[in-house]
Structures are given as C-alpha cells and as structure tokens.
Amino acid sequence: MRNFLLSLVILSITSITTYAYTISGSKWADTNISFSYVPDGTPWEGGLSTLFASLDAVAATPVWQREFTLALQTWANVSTLNFYQVSDDGSPSHTLGLAQGDPRFGDIRLGVAPLGSSVLGSTWYPNGIALGGNITLNSNGTFAIGSFPDLFMVLRHEVGHALGLRHSSVDGSVMRTAWVDSLHDDDIAGIQFLYGIPIPEPPTLALLLFGFVCLRGKRL
C-alpha cells in the first residue's frame, strides 16, 4: 500500500512538472470534424461577419483558407482527428442545432466580427450545441501571412480552443504563446489526452512485402 501511495505521488509530481495543458471539460464525440467558412453578412457574435472581405484584404481566398486548413491539420497530425470542409448557409452564430453533423454548416465555423481591442480571436469550446467550436477573428485586428501577427499561428491557437484545450502555462506552447514554430510537447499531450494518438500507418516495407507475396501467389 505504501509503495502504491508513493508511486501515485511520484506520478502526480511527474505529470505536474511535465505538462500543464488544461482542458475545457468537453470535446467532440466524433473525431471526424467538419468545418465551414461563414458567408459575409452572416449575423455573427453581435455583428455581421466580414470573413471574406477582411481576409481577402490579407491574401487571396485560397491562400488564407490554406492557412486555416494547415492550422487544422497541425492538430490532426498528432491525434486521431480528421477534418473535412462543408458548405455554410449563413445561419446566425447562435443558431440552435446539432453539435456535430448539422446539415446547414460545419461543426467548426470560421467568421470575422468586431471583438474587444485586446484580442485577435475568440473561440467557443465544443460544448454540446451548435455554437461549440465557432471561431471568430477580430475585424478590428490586423493579420499577416509569414509575419506578425501570423494568421496561421492565430488560427492554430484558436483551433486548439475549438478542440477543447484551454490556455497552458508552459512557455513555448501554442496554447500559451501562439507565436511558436510548432506544437510543443505540452500541446501534443493535451490533444492526445482528449483524442488519442494517431493510428500508425502500416510500414512501407510491410506493404512492399505484402505486394511481393501477392504477386508471387498470383503467378503460382
């Protein structure tokens, strides 16, 4: 019993010193998560979304949309998550509906609206209703691609919230600092706690051997 208690203490100390991610307490039930781009003029968080007008001023539509898909993919690469795009009918941000799989819009919706002067973005945690996962960039903010404030880095941080991560206290983590090159171990531990580790691909060598055996089998 004493040994058990000791190991518990050691375990908890280890986890405290290694990771500091925090979770919102909710997550997506289905790891296949859809996303959509909110049409301009959609009633959105107290304003009207200007997603396309605002970000088309930063870069061509396919370019800034690629930054968003890269932000999503960053989290998918280290977890079991998978993202796919759907259309968005412009329903207001607080519309009642399904938490996931609503036919009118994505599970995660990206819009732009006026927010307070101190934030670049604001995101709802997955919360069991259609509102969960909605990401809003500040129409009063400025964004750039490849320089500060980098759109990809902002979106990567906001997507972390949309997936159920709160802020971390670990320096260098995306969920604290945002302005870092890649996910920190702390970010990875957080997303894997929620959604598990990626399913490993069969090794290429095993596939080649399988193909060889199949070919031989056919000839014989």
**Which residues have a catalytic role annotated?**
158
Residue partners of 219: CB distance under 8 A and separation at least 6: none
The answer for residues whose C-beta is within 8 angstroms of residue 178's C-beta and 6 or more apart is 153, 154, 156, 157
Contact at 8 Å (CB) between 194 and 164? Answer: yes
> Which one-letter amino acid corresponds to residue 27?
K
Q: How far is CA 152 from CA 47, 122, 191, 192, in A?
A: 24, 15, 18, 21
* Lookup: tokens for 19: 């990771």
Packed helices 61-76 and 151-162: angle between N→C axes, nearest 10 degrees: 50
Distance CA 49, CA 64 (A): 16
SS3 of residue 82 by DSSP: strand
Answer yes or no: are the C-beta atoms of 124 and 130 closer than 8 Å.
no
Rounded CA-CA distance 96/75 in Å is 27
Question: By C-alpha distance, which of 114, 111, 96 is closest to 46?
Answer: 114
